[in-house]
Chain A
């Protein structure tokens, strides 16, 4: 067993920290991390709960392989009900924080209630205490991290924290760990801040001595690492170019959403691409990209460490940003770049730094700015709203200004912190919100990649690429190439990706391993580490159980099949260029088949048969 079999329950209202035994029956049914924590959420939180009220709970959860030397075994997730979508939220992060939690002897931490004043949780192995965070509240993650480190006096302490944006109610606030890794999506940081919980600091020295069959585990880990090393994507492509290598690919296939998804190809894509991050700049001859970086136990190392040109307008008078820090990943680069029409890589990097520093999801932030720019273009938002800033597509100044405003929750930044759906409703144009269930789209236009339309529409956390990354098959040819312009057969593809991804997200491993690994590579690692006969078939069954559990929670929360849709723009306005020119997304052809494959009702509800098959709670 790679579980520690212990969870920590933190009652923020009462100020208590209590150890509990992990429910191992649930662990057998839901594995860990995303699945197991969602099972706890469903048990303990009413689906109709106010996401920002004290009755919502926030769970930080590891998987059974978190903290092991399995490649990428450092993941953790943050689970709660989302204030952005009112659906279940599960946001996944790497870095080193999750592994430290496991090393301290905890599988998960459940936060409930609300502290009377700002606090942080300090865990050192089996000891957990709540301490005042009055002096950190109102500070950015980067500022507060320094303050907290003077308190804990242990450089190996790992910290997860919320920034000022979440404190100020920005609905897409992230939980940032290790300064620039983040559980970014769905506003999990906003829920954390609503509980007056500023940070969690963990130091674990216990190691992990609970592997079921250590010898076999090391053999399976070694075999898995060899597969990753020999694969062209995980062995060379991702370390060298990171996820940003996709910028030119997706632009070429005509599926790069541009200017609030009005267009599907961006003329400035090459200037903000992975290749561009390698180009020496004129001012100092250095490239944007300094080096790649790896999370705990990762042998892929796709992370980007970047600098901003010191002569760039955004930082020329701000030496505190003349640093190496978390650089552009593809989704963030897209939202901050093509979707806003900005082709200035230094402006994108600066905005990305601010998203890390103050905990904003860069996808939702960039997409919301893009919506605001279209509202500005239509005259619905004016200079009087922005205090004189011209929110025009392509304006690097406007992008950087917006990031500063949302980071601090100042002025028009409050409106931008609402997210695209609420912003567009407020300013009278709900049709301009490029969202599903209130969450902003990532970087793939579903007119040019048909399966992604269904993946977005049915995602349990709103528009998201990480619930079913059919791009892998439709564009990249992994595991096999399918035609991105064809909707036939995509219902089965989406379901298969959804179930497999839910299982991987519950293991403690990174989903990027699946560019090289199948469940045949992953299951032996789990099986040798954990009790329970973990075969690939069992993992798929667990994945499907998790998907149905999340869906059931959402339907009970009022997020039903009527919300399995896409913005009108994507269903009625044909793509303006590229291979998908004049095509719309054919969701209406895919959705009924998808419901059928799921065994749901025609309106998308989980049936009693499915509930019984997967032993779901009533």
Chain B
């Protein structure tokens, strides 16, 4: 976990901290949140041109388990997750593995 934290800092230093978003990981992905997360959420710093897959990879979420990927509650399809700059300051990025109920 400590190594991951340092790597994250280095990455941020490299790309430059541009803005802060809230990352939420749920269900079986909950354990991938870094320490300090509460109620399945943590605020993270990201570059303005970050892609969703870069964030997914940074937190070691297996891409095949990043099934429901929502920005402010709106679904982002798999083919759009390499597009740079989908987020703006204050956005909420929430990710679930395949889930269902009813």
Contacts and interface: CB of A to CB of B under 8 A. Distances in A.
Interface of A: 231-234, 236-238, 240-246, 248-249, 252-254, 270, 274-275, 302, 329-331, 465-466, 469, 471-472, 475-478, 481, 483, 511-512, 515, 578-579
Interface residues of B, number: 25
Interface string B66-81: 0110101111010000
Contact of A472 (B27, B65, B72, B100): B100
**Which 9 A-B pairs rank lowest in CB-CB distance, beginning with the nearest?**
A243-B101, A232-B98, A246-B101, A579-B73, A515-B100, A237-B99, A233-B100, A330-B101, A245-B99
B53 interface: no
B102 A579 contact: no
22 contacts: A234-B100, A238-B101, A241-B27, A242-B101, A244-B101, A245-B26, A245-B96, A246-B99, A248-B24, A252-B24, A253-B73, A270-B40, A274-B27, A275-B26, A331-B102, A469-B102, A476-B98, A477-B67, A478-B100, A511-B102, A515-B100, A579-B74
A231 B94 CA distance: 22
A476 B75 CA distance: 10
A237 B97 contact: yes
B99 A512 contact: no
Given A232-B67, A270-B40, A477-B68, A252 B73 contact: yes
B99 A466 contact: no
Contacts of B28: 236-237, 240-241
Contact of A248 (B40, B65, B72, B77): B40
B27 A471 contact: no
Given A270-B39, A331-B102, A476-B98, 9 more contacts: A232-B65, A237-B97, A237-B99, A246-B99, A252-B73, A253-B75, A477-B98, A478-B98, A515-B100
Interface residues of chain A: helix, strand, loop or mixed (majority)? helix
B72 to A, nearest CB: 7
Interface of B: 24, 26-28, 30, 39-40, 65, 67-68, 70, 72-75, 77, 92, 94, 96-102
Contact of B70 (A253, A511, A515): A253
Nearest to A255: B73
Contacts of B94: 248, 252
Contacts of B75: 253, 477, 481, 483
A238 B73 contact: no
Contact of A245 (B27, B39, B72, B73): B27
Contacts of B92: 252
Nearest to A244: B101
Contact of B27 (A231, A240, A254, A330): A240
A475 B70 CA distance: 10
A515 B94 CA distance: 22
B77 A481 contact: yes
A233 B102 contact: no
Given A240-B27, A270-B40, A275-B40, A476 B99 contact: yes
Nearest to B41: A270
Given A477-B68, A579-B73, A330 B40 contact: no
Looking at B27, B101, B102, which has the most chain A CB atoms within 10 Å of its CB? Answer: B101
Contact of A249 (B65, B68, B77): B68
A579 B76 CA distance: 13
Given A241-B27, A579-B74, A476 B100 contact: yes
B100 A237 contact: yes
Nearest to A482: B75
A233 B98 contact: yes
B24 to A, nearest CB: 8
Nearest to A279: B39
A233 B74 CA distance: 21
Given A254-B73, A330-B101, A579-B73, A476 B68 contact: yes
A233 B26 contact: no
Contacts of B97: 232, 236-237
